[in-house]
Structure 1
Amino acid sequence: MSRKKQTGTAGIVTGSIIGGAMLGLVVPALAIDFSISGFIRQEMAIKLSDRENQANNHGNPFNGQDVPLEPLGLNLSSVAGLNGLLGSLGLPTVTDVTQPLFGSAATLPPTGRRDVRTAKNDFNLFATRVEVNMAAAIDANWSARLTVRGYYDWNAYDDNSDTNFFETQMRSGGGGTPLEYAEKDFMIDLPVATVDYTNGPLFVRMGNQQIAWGEAIFFRVMDVPAGLDYRRHLILEPAIEEYGDKRVPALGVRASYQINSEWEVEGFVQKFEPSLYPNPSTPYNVVPDQFTVHERYKGYADDLWNVGGRIRAQLGNLGLQFIAVSRHNPDGVLRWTKSGVNRDLPVLPGSGATLAETPFEVDQKNGVKSQEEWYWYSNSVRLDGTQGLNAAIDDFQPATGAVTAYNVGESDALARGELDTFFWLSGGLRGHIENVFPYENVFGASVNYVFDGEPGSFLEQLIGRVEVTYTPDRTFTNPTLGQDFIKEDQWSFAAVFEKWHRWSEDFPAAYLVLQFMYKNGSDIFDVKTRHLSGYNSTATTTPKGVDYSAAIAFAGFQPSPSLEWKFEWAVLYEIDGGWFFQPGLRWKPNDKWEANIYANIVVAPEDGRSAIALVDYLDELALRVTYQF
């Protein structure tokens, strides 16, 4: 048993159109019932703090800083220190530590200065959305649905680079899915374009569709058929809406058959479509801008298909569900890749062709400038700074060896000295990584039970549900970004309690849901399927790893006596991690207008254990004003 969403149906226009005339076909006249509805919505998110997104160029905490470098681990800020290096190389000594070395390529004393502006923003989001939903009942067996969605971002966000909100690398036209057209500031797509066939116990849906198997708030356990589109507002819409706007649509066929009053079977075949992450220089970007991400979808994974099925039963108060899905991981996994950029190290003319065979390119404006910056960002995205350097060197020999890079073993000190050497000699380096989509099988089961308590008691109609999935030999992003991914069996577990409860005769029933989730292997949000061995570190220590990721969520809403107002809330607590708070209020004065105001607040100490710390900067007040037609 699951809860029903409360959605507006105001303004539906219903008519009757003669099917033969509409389609221009010589067939007997068919009476088609046609309906259309939709909404226009203004969405905005106002920043509540002066912190900026550290993944973007303008929010880098090292902007404007002169970070001392120690090439080869040596302090070259003094004449004595510099002459010690020059003497060891058999070079003439100097009396002025501020003179250039190797011509004008590397200046003294060595510093990694990010001469970059730090911007200040008032808005994380300022956008307009339009959706039009059309439905046609052709006859007793056939029907069709079409949803047209348009989204325009007014670009109130200030970064140092060209802001591209929606264009992707997935397709030549920039769209994220086959039925999407996207440019930098807007996207138009058809999230639903289906034809349905119903005949007694048989239901078949064909076309572009979103398959939703889960009802969890924040968490996804059984909800495995589709990836998520994070481009519009990450996952920061009201949590109670359960990813309703986020699942990536895909072309496919889905069918179900009601065997009897208790048992139902369902299956699907659907084109693989990956999750869509925010682009660099956009408010909710999660990949540091010093990386270039190469999406290996177009030409690599754009002709793949997912298949899956489930069996459901309702045996009195007991509900059962079993799933099996063969898919490609929509979130992807990351690893180093060749940059392909032919740009010389300033001190090594002609080195560009060799450097193009490594994961690095010279980027003196926006690249990483110091080992301090390297390790700070490695910690923030749960990577291993030292072993990440080793993997980048070992996996791209002999090119890396040709520019004198070497494996430092387990020595953080040697790694820091080597990094500072190359940052000094280059003036800054940009890393290149690729996102690939490995194949995996997911098996799962769930049990839910509706309790029969005394009328008016808390146990009356309380629903308890347990969900478990198992993914054998799952592929994870290695914290080193090495070519050898981590392979490990993954278990995901969720326990959920939900009910409608009336606290007082003066108020309608409140909806309440309490959830617990556990995962091994990756964190609860599965961002780029990062492995937990990259957790538990600081900017000055390497990761020790954690065994699991777990969290508790409590959410719900309470309507007012008139139903005009609704107070909503969602709270997420990571075990050994951070907090996320989302209080909200909805006002619906009539069947046309609705206003929704809510806050997103993150409190996450940076101890290397929290998944939500990735967006600790984003405290914001969000507002949505909707007109329905």
Structure 2
Amino acid sequence: MDSAQRARRLICAGIAMMAASTTVRADDGDSSGYLSNLWGRTTFNGLLRNDTGFRTTGFQNYNNQGNAPFQHVDVPRQAYVPPALSSQLLGIQLLPQATNWNVPIPNSAGLIHTNDTVRRDNFVPGSDPYLNYQEYRASGEMNVSFTDSFRLNIQARAIFDPGIYNSFDAKDVANIQGGIDGGGGNRYADTGKAQYFQSLGRNGGKLNPTEFAGRQYLIDFPTALLEYKSGAYNIRFGMQQIAWGQAIFFQSFDVPDGLDFRRHLVLDRAIEEFSDKRVPALALRGTIQATDAIIVDGYVQKFQPSVLPNPNTPYNVIPSQFYKPLDNYFTGDNDTRLSYGIRMKADYGNWGYSALAGSRINPLGVFSWAESGINKGLTGTNPDGSRYGNLLGAAVETAYAAKLGPDSPLCAGNLYNPTTCRLYGSLGEALSHTPFTVGPAGVYSNKEYFGGAGSVRLDATKTVNTAVDEFAALRDVYASHVDDNREASNLLNTFFLASDGSLRGNVQRDYYREEVFGLGGSYVIETENAASFWNQFIVNVEAQYTPNRRLTDTGLSHAGDKTDEYIITVVGERWYRFTPAFPAAYLAFEYQHRSATDIVGLNLKGYGANSGTFGVSDPVAFQGNDYSGLRSPKGLKDVGANYLVFAGFLPAPNRKFVLEWAFLYDVQGGLLAQPLLKWNPGNNISVDVFYNYVNGHLYGNPTNNVVRAISFADEANIRIGYQF
């Protein structure tokens, strides 16, 4: 019996136990009396909330269309002779340098256009929203105690986003390069207005089966479980969030659940400790108080992936010039896979010990190049009947059609040569088997490509070579391996010019199992001086080790990048009374070291590249045809990633006000600071006012710190809630 079968049997046993428990009724056999008593053991509560985030700087999210790198910058482009095409055009290889991408195609005005200067805003409208975030929320909870040992708990929430951000609409570019096409999978997030909440697999299935989502609304159930508690035993079955972590911002033992980043990314109230972000999943969880000092906690859970923001939404983290990643949650049968784990905690005097072992599917997944599945050539017809394309693109299509067809005996098997043979009936069909699609609002230039790659921790040149190596159809349309950044730039600009605009990239997300092990220890310091700051100071250390963790490769290889990773987290916390006039303040000091990934799980090997963001202000990197600024990542693998956190809260004497703060510092030069003031005016009303200060360029190379990815998000936030 394999592990998945054993897990399913455990879940079935849990269902049977819960069903048996529901046979309890009143002793006198009066069912109506039992129901009346049950109503008296049922409680309800609810919350209405408004969240608003005001942009306070001129920066916008550079992953979205209206503010993409080089949106308002002239970038020169020059086409070059593809090495695989040169001998076809010339009949014989005449120039040694034609074996690489260094022979420019002369521009012939009025005949073939092979060089120009491009600006994205000539094709893609800009945007200037004053709000980063606006959300209305209603949530409720019902708790039914059938007996003292058995209860039902259901939590539901409904969220509405009015969508007032001046977001990009794909229909605005429908008559440029034939518009943004669908195909190859469900393209729900790319071919119309911004989708704030829908989250679908490539087959159109909902990633979270218990949520109901549209473009602007979300209704879901964070919790819907049955709980049985008797003596030392506690068993929960149903939709639930499993929290195994206590650190603010960090996850080391907190491994069961993925995170949902759709609403406010990581910029909500930090001290909530992911409580609004964990993705709920169907699970059977059991906890045993083995002794007075030892607790054992285990779970078996249906795998649910982390949920990423959609393109052109306020906190999108993937460049919108690419299609939203095609999610293989269903097509890879990941919806039937199980994660499971066990944790032990023990306390002995001032000492505490913990350990975990788990087998899970990594919820972030691995991103790689994907076939587009979109059959679209370099020339064609727009929806309004006009033609798109240029003579360079037409020449490439003609050259492709002139090659021997896929049925030719001269191209069979090992006789195939991309210079003289073609694999498909048309260039459009060939492109459908590559990661690139002709379409507007994609990538327009080499510098934009390098900038976008660097911003998401990829190696631009390596991604080009990976695509060429892994997709025969790309070699079939005259792409070839490149030796350096200059050749990669020349290849890219040639393809962009031939498309008469831009190309859109296609990636996919796959999921891999990993084994996670952890050890932890804590100690409560006691001093002779009861007033000492260090008296009752708690130190907690957690270490996680994962062998063969599969990460996204910096070249987007389908195999990903396997590496062993260790994570060490040190947390110091204390309740401390600064003065008798104020209640005690909670203080938390944290440090985390990660050997292979940053705090969101991205590969450290991709750090240090050129991101091309923030108005492309680097005067050296972006001068004319200077390629020195197209910097490949150097990576942080040798030094790892290191983060410091200082957080806490201090209530006012009247308890109506609470001052909170949370600071996340990336030692490579990034800072997220969140001061917050909580006001409780009474009548079940609460008001939170907080500011997110985000600075990813304090010092050093900005692309060496994780904060740079959200440096646009300086914002003032207000949250108003009513509890009923």
1:614 to 702, 709, 719: 709
Using the alignment, how far apart are the partners of 1:563 and 1:100 within structure 2?
A: 76
Contact 1:191 1:249 in 2 (8 A): yes
Using the alignment, how far apart are the partners of 2:310 and 2:65 within structure 1?
A: 12
Using the alignment, how far apart are the partners of 1:591 and 1:272 within structure 2?
A: 41
* 1:172–1:35 CA distance, 2 compared to 1 (3 A): farther
Using the alignment, how far apart are the partners of 2:693 and 2:685 within structure 1?
A: 27
Partner of 2:346: 313
Structure 2 spans left out of the alignment, 5+ residues? 1-22, 83-93, 99-105, 170-192, 380-392, 398-425, 611-628
Contact 1:174 1:181 in 2 (8 A): no
Please list every run of at least 4 consecutive aligned residues from structure 1 whose deviation after the TM superposition is greater than 6 angstroms: 18-21, 86-89, 171-174
Which segment is superposed worse, 344-353 or 573-582?
A: 344-353
Say yes or no: does 1:446 pair with 2:477.
no
Counterpart of 1:429, as a letter, is: L
Counterpart of 1:432, as a letter, is: N
Using the alignment, how far apart are the partners of 1:192 and 1:484 within structure 2?
A: 35
Say yes or no: does 1:144 pair with 2:144.
no
Using the alignment, how far apart are the partners of 2:283 and 2:33 within structure 1?
A: 30
Q: Deviations over 1:255-280 (max 9, x none)?
A: 01111101121111110000001000
- Partner of 1:302, secondary structure, is helix
Using the alignment, how far apart are the partners of 1:556 and 1:581 within structure 2?
A: 12
Partner of 2:331: 299
1:493 to 568, 578, 581: 568
* 1:28–1:255 CA distance, 2 compared to 1 (3 A): farther
Counterpart of 1:540, as a letter, is: L
Partner of 2:671: 579
Question: What are the within-5 Å matches in structure 2 for residues 542-561 of structure 1?
Answer: 542-546=632-636, 547=638, 548-561=640-653
Say yes or no: does 1:99 pair with 2:99.
no
Q: TM-score, normalised by structure 2?
A: 0.78
Contact 1:173 1:182 in 2 (8 A): no
Counterpart of 1:298, as a letter, is: F
Which segment is superposed worse, 310-319 or 162-171?
A: 162-171
Which segment is superposed worse, 307-316 or 453-462?
A: 453-462
Which segment is superposed worse, 168-177 or 464-473?
A: 168-177
Using the alignment, how far apart are the partners of 1:182 and 1:294 within structure 2?
A: 18
Contact 1:52 1:59 in 2 (8 A): yes
* 1:412–1:137 CA distance, 2 compared to 1 (3 A): same
Using the alignment, how far apart are the partners of 1:215 and 1:226 within structure 2?
A: 14
Say yes or no: does 1:110 pair with 2:88.
no
Q: Deviations over 1:133-155 (max 9, x none)?
A: 11111112211101011111111
* 1:565–1:246 CA distance, 2 compared to 1 (3 A): same
Counterpart of 2:116, as a letter, is: P
Counterpart of 2:604, as a letter, is: L
- Partner of 1:517, secondary structure, is strand
Using the alignment, how far apart are the partners of 1:281 and 1:176 within structure 2?
A: 20
- Partner of 1:478, secondary structure, is coil
Question: What are the within-5 Å matches in structure 2 for residues 227-626 of structure 1?
Answer: 227-292=258-323, 293-300=325-332, 301-346=334-379, 347=393, 348-349=396-397, 350-363=426-439, 365-397=440-472, 399-409=473-483, 411-426=484-499, 427-453=501-527, 454-526=529-601, 530-538=602-610, 539-546=629-636, 547=638, 548-590=640-682, 592-605=684-697, 607-626=702-721
Using the alignment, how far apart are the partners of 2:511 and 2:30 within structure 1?
A: 44
* 1:596–1:176 CA distance, 2 compared to 1 (3 A): farther
Q: CA deviation at 1:377?
A: 1.1
Partner of 2:19: none
Partner of 1:8: none
Using the alignment, how far apart are the partners of 1:355 and 1:173 within structure 2?
A: 23
Q: Deviations over 1:69-125 (max 9, x none)?
A: 022299xxxxxxxxxxx9999xxxxxx9672444xxxx3542333221211011111
Using the alignment, how far apart are the partners of 1:54 and 1:213 within structure 2?
A: 34
* 1:19–1:127 CA distance, 2 compared to 1 (3 A): farther
* 1:315–1:274 CA distance, 2 compared to 1 (3 A): same
Partner of 2:172: none
Counterpart of 1:357, as a letter, is: H
Question: What are the within-5 Å matches in structure 2 for residues 156-195 of structure 1?
Answer: 156-161=164-169, 162-170=193-201, 175-195=206-226
Using the alignment, how far apart are the partners of 2:147 and 2:570 within structure 1?
A: 42
Using the alignment, how far apart are the partners of 1:100 and 1:498 within structure 2?
A: 72
RMSD of Structure 2 on Structure 1 (CA): 2.3
1:54 to 52, 58, 62: 62
Contact 2:302 2:336 in 1 (8 A): yes
* 1:482–1:275 CA distance, 2 compared to 1 (3 A): same
Which segment is superposed worse, 531-540 or 122-131?
A: 531-540
Contact 2:520 2:540 in 1 (8 A): yes
Q: CA deviation at 1:594?
A: 0.4
- Work out the percentage of aligned pairs sharing the same amino acid: 36
Q: CA deviation at 1:525?
A: 2.1
Counterpart of 1:482, as a letter, is: S
- Partner of 1:581, secondary structure, is strand
Q: CA deviation at 1:537?
A: 2.3
Q: Deviations over 1:560-580 (max 9, x none)?
A: 110100111111110113111
- Partner of 1:29, secondary structure, is helix
Using the alignment, how far apart are the partners of 1:194 and 1:607 within structure 2?
A: 45
Question: What are the within-5 Å matches in structure 2 for residues 195-210 of structure 1?
Answer: 195-210=226-241
- Partner of 2:300, secondary structure, is strand
Q: CA deviation at 1:20?
A: 6.7
* 1:511–1:225 CA distance, 2 compared to 1 (3 A): same
- Partner of 1:268, secondary structure, is strand
Counterpart of 1:113, as a letter, is: R
Contact 2:296 2:342 in 1 (8 A): yes
Partner of 2:390: none
Q: Deviations over 1:213-271 (max 9, x none)?
A: 00111111100000001111111111111111110000011001111101121111110
- Partner of 1:413, secondary structure, is helix
Which segment is superposed worse, 536-545 or 301-310?
A: 536-545
Counterpart of 1:182, as a letter, is: A
* 1:385–1:73 CA distance, 2 compared to 1 (3 A): farther
Q: Deviations over 1:519-571 (max 9, x none)?
A: 01111221xxx221111222521111112011101011111110100111111
- Partner of 1:588, secondary structure, is strand
Q: CA deviation at 1:299?
A: 2.9
Using the alignment, how far apart are the partners of 1:423 and 1:53 within structure 2?
A: 24
Structure 1 spans left out of the alignment, 5+ residues? 1-17, 75-85, 90-95
Partner of 1:79: none
Contact 1:212 1:223 in 2 (8 A): yes
Aligned length: 583
Which segment is superposed worse, 465-474 or 170-179?
A: 170-179
Partner of 1:15: none
Contact 2:202 2:331 in 1 (8 A): no
Q: Deviations over 1:496-531 (max 9, x none)?
A: 0001100000001111000000001111221xxx22
Counterpart of 2:109, as a letter, is: Q
Q: Deviations over 1:139-188 (max 9, x none)?
A: 12211101011111111211222111111114977644221100010100
Counterpart of 2:437, as a letter, is: E
Contact 1:72 1:414 in 2 (8 A): no
- Partner of 1:589, secondary structure, is strand
* 1:288–1:25 CA distance, 2 compared to 1 (3 A): farther
Using the alignment, how far apart are the partners of 1:28 and 1:589 within structure 2?
A: 41
Counterpart of 1:38, as a letter, is: G
- Partner of 1:508, secondary structure, is coil
